[in-house]
């Protein structure tokens, strides 16, 4: 339902970041986009959601299609209304608004205002912690609570596709587990299609149906999760299963480069 075809993205008319990026996100599935820091994952999400323009970025080639419509030239507001919602990297909750006000802002583009109360209750069922904190200023929440709020706020828009940018960022392992199990439930129970960007490949592959791995602005590998999990390169570079446990990403990258030079 959501397709990127040979997408090229430039910032400030000179910095070429995506260099022919293609991927398909089928309806009702969870797709994960993996890759190290600076690979262009966030740029890919912003190209889809229309947020590029607020950073002087632009899709200069290729196209993005959602349910048969080209959207690479649409603005963020139009794209949210079409049913694609991006939860930005770093949570970005509205710090001086209360938890409940944050949820209301998530529903900003909705026409069916009378269902909003009900949907707030639904978000609270997925994230019971948020209900206890509903009158608290969002800036005072813990990192995990803010991430829950950011996802809950996304649900309030009733999106067809939810784009999640590194929901595990800066969270304790237990919290990461909890949040990813809820992401899985949202996909199963609400039927929301999800594209989740991650550096934590292990947790992302544990809930996804299909995975893409990107490097330096393009996809270098993709496949159903079962196949990726068996792939030796993936095991070594992204799951860090070889000898000394998990590697730091910077090490992985330089290691890989050295290998290429041989």
Partner 1 sequence: MSFFLQMLVTGIVVGSVYSLVALGFVLIYKSSDAINFAQGEFLLVGTYVCLTLVASYHIPFILAVLITLVFSAILGLVVERIVLRPFIGKPVISMIMATIGLSSILAGLVHIIWGHETRVYPKVFSDKPIQLGEVVIAPVYAWSLVIVVVMLVIFTLFFKYSKLGIAMRATADDQQAALSMGISVKTIFAVAWAIAAIVSAVGGVLLGNINGVNSSLSTIGLKVLPVAILGGLDSIPGAIIGGIIIGIIESMTGGYLDPMVGGGLKEVIPFVILVLILMIKPYGLFGKKEIERV
Ligand X SMILES: Nc1ncnc2c1ncn2[C@@H]1O[C@H](COP(=O)(O)OP(=O)(O)O)[C@@H](O)[C@H]1O
Interface contacts to ligand X, rule CB under 6 A = 11, 15, 17, 35, 37-43, 55, 57
Query: With respect to partner 1, which residue has the nearer C-beta, 100 or 222?
Result: 100
Distances in Å between the Cα of 102 and the Cα atoms of 81, 170, 186, 236 are: 18, 21, 19, 40
Query: With respect to ligand X, which residue has the nearer C-beta, 41 or 160?
Result: 41
Q: How many residues does the chain have?
A: 262
230 CB-contact burial (10 Å; exposed 0-12 / middle 13-18 / buried 19+): exposed
Interface region with partner 1, contact rule CB under 8 A, candidates 6-14, 81-89, 197-205, 234-242: 81-89
Window 39 to 58, contacts with Mg ion (CB under 5 A): 42
Residue 146 touches Mg ion, criterion: CB under 5 A: no
Q: Torsions phi, psi of 96, nearest 5?
A: -90, 5
Query: With respect to partner 1, which residue has the nearer C-beta, 78 or 254?
Result: 78
Residue 141 touches partner 1, criterion: CB under 8 A: yes
Q: What is the 3-state secondary structure (H, E, C) of 26-76?
A: CCCCEEEEECCCCCCHHHHHHHHHCHHHHHCEEEEEEEEEECCEECCCCCH
Q: How far apart are CA 181 and CA 161, in angstroms?
A: 18
CB 36 within 8 A of CB 200: no
Window 147 to 166, contacts with partner 1 (CB under 8 A): 153, 157
Q: How far apart are CA 89 and CA 28, in angstroms?
A: 23
Interface region with partner 1, contact rule CB under 8 A, candidates 24-32, 60-68, 86-94, 227-235: 86-94
Query: With respect to ligand X, which residue has the nearer C-beta, 215 or 236?
Result: 215
Query: With respect to partner 1, which residue has the nearer C-beta, 54 or 242?
Result: 54
Q: How many residues belong to the site for partner 1 (CB under 8 A)?
A: 34
| Residue 34 contact partner, candidates partner 1, ligand X, Mg ion, none, CB within 5 to 8 A by sort of partner | none
Dihedral sign (CA 115, 121, 124, 126): negative
| Residue 94 contact partner, candidates partner 1, Mg ion, ligand X, none, CB within 5 to 8 A by sort of partner | partner 1
Query: With respect to Mg ion, which residue has the nearer C-beta, 103 or 151?
Result: 151
Using CB under 8 A, list all residues that contact partner 1.
49, 51, 54, 56, 76-77, 79-81, 85-86, 88, 92-97, 101-102, 104-106, 108-109, 113, 137, 139-143, 153, 157
């Amino acid at each position: 339902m959501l397709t990127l075809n040979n997408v090229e993205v430039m910032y400030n008319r000179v910095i070429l970041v995506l260099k022919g990026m293609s991927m398909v996100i089928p309806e009702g599935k969870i797709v994960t986009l993996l890759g190290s820091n600076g690979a262009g994952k966030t740029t890919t999400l912003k190209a889809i959601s229309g947020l590029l323009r607020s950073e002087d970025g632009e899709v200069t080639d290729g196209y993005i299609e959602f349910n048969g419509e080209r959207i690479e030239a649409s603005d963020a507001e139009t794209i949210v209304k079409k049913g694609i919602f991006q939860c930005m990297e770093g949570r970005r909750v509205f710090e001086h608004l209360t938890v409940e006000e944050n949820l209301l802002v998530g529903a900003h583009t909705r026409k069916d205002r009378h269902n909003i109360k009900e949907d707030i209750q639904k978000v609270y069922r997925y994230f019971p912690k948020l209900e206890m904190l509903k009158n608290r200023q969002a800036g005072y929440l813990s990192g995990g609570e803010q991430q829950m709020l950011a996802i809950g706020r996304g649900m309030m828009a009733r999106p067809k596709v939810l784009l999640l940018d590194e929901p595990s960022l800066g969270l304790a392992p237990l919290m990461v587990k909890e949040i990813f199990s809820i992401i899985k439930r949202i996909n199963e129970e609400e039927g929301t299609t999800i594209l989740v960007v991650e550096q934590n490949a292990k947790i992302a592959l544990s809930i996804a149906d299909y995975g893409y791995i990107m490097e330096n602005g393009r996809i270098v590998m993709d496949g159903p999760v079962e196949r990726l999990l068996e792939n030796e390169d993936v095991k070594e570079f992204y799951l860090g299963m070889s000898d000394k446990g998990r590697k730091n990403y910077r090490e992985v990258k330089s290691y890989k480069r050295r290998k290429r030079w041989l």
